[in-house]
Amino acid sequence: MVRAPGGRVVATTDLLVEGRHFRRDWSPPYDIGRKAAAQNLADVVAMGARPTALLLGFGAPPDTEIGWVDALCDGLRDECAQVGASVAGGDIVRAETVVLGVTALGALDGPAITRSGARPGDVVAVTGRLGYAAAGVELLSAGRREPADLIDAHRRPRPPYAAALGARDLGATAMLDVSDGLVQDLGHIAEAAGVRIEIDGAAVPLPPVPDGLRLALTGGDDHAFAATFPNRMPLPAEWRTIGRVVEGPAEVVVDGRTHGAGGWDHFRPPQR
């Protein structure tokens, strides 16, 4: 049983598959647990809800060591503690590889923040890191283990929960967590609200790598938050204004140009 003070529950679910979302030779089990929890808790927070519980579906090969599973569960528990949630239960099955199916629940104590609320005249702002996790993946794929902050960003995202939980009080009209790439995810807001989003590339916070803008625009898994706010609302320092919402076709443009394909899509054909 999970209490819902307002009588409404926000629910989200996500699936992590070994070899696609994480690799056991790249990430320790504790970090995998933190990551699995974070990407679901961030979805709940992005709707203006306070996370309350996770339900976990866990599949693993029969030779998986108990110590590995214990460390995974420690990671889930500690990430939930960041927002006052807990792991409420779940199910375990035998599988060929490690699979994590996580469902997160959250309680609303006010209006939900949806993707369709953006309006012309709003500003677009972000909080958190962009492109760090994607840079970490590229480094790991090249056999590198440094710089540590980029590698760790892939292994364990650090969503800025507190900043996002305060977004409703700042008048946020739409919000989401950046899981599949900034441009792609802002495109969901543009489509849902029927607006055009214009991004100033020079204002986007970048990871410390040579191709930082590309990674900031298309890299996922950092679980930063992007939101739209009324233009008159002064934003605290943790929110960085990067663009604006205008009338026009439902699209995202960067420096006046429509951005090409990017971001994560499981079913998009490989780019050649």
> Does 89 belong to an annotated binding site?
no
Determine whether the annotation assigns residue 74 to a binding site: no
- Beta-sheet pairing, 50-60 with 99-107: antiparallel
Please indicate if the annotation marks 14 as binding a ligand: yes
Is 21 among the annotated ligand-binding positions?
yes
As to burial, measured by CB atoms within 10 angstroms (0-12 exposed, 13-18 middle, 19+ buried), residue 214 is middle
Instruction: Establish whether 248 is an annotated binding residue.
Output: no
Judge contact between 42 and 130, C-beta under 8 A.
Answer: no
Cα–Cα dist 124/57, whole Å: 36
d(CA 175, CA 225): 7
CA dihedral 78, 79, 85, 87 (to 10 degrees): -70
141 is known to lie in a ligand binding site: no
179 known ligand binder: yes
Q: HSE on the CB side for 242, CA within 13 Å? A: 29
Q: Is the dihedral of CA 12, 17, 21, 26 positive or negative?
A: positive
The position carrying tokens 């006010």 is 110
Is 180 among the annotated ligand-binding positions? yes
Is 122 assigned to a binding site? no
Distance CA(234)–CA(271), nearest Å, equals 41
Closest C-alpha to 173, from 217, 132, 233: 233
Please give the annotated binding residues for ATP, written as ranges.
90-91, 115, 179
- Give the residue ranges of the annotated binding site for Mg(2+): 12-14, 43, 91, 177, 180
Annotated binding residues for substrate: 21, 221, 264
Q: Annotated binding residues, as ranges?
A: 12-14, 21, 43, 90-91, 115, 177, 179-180, 221, 264
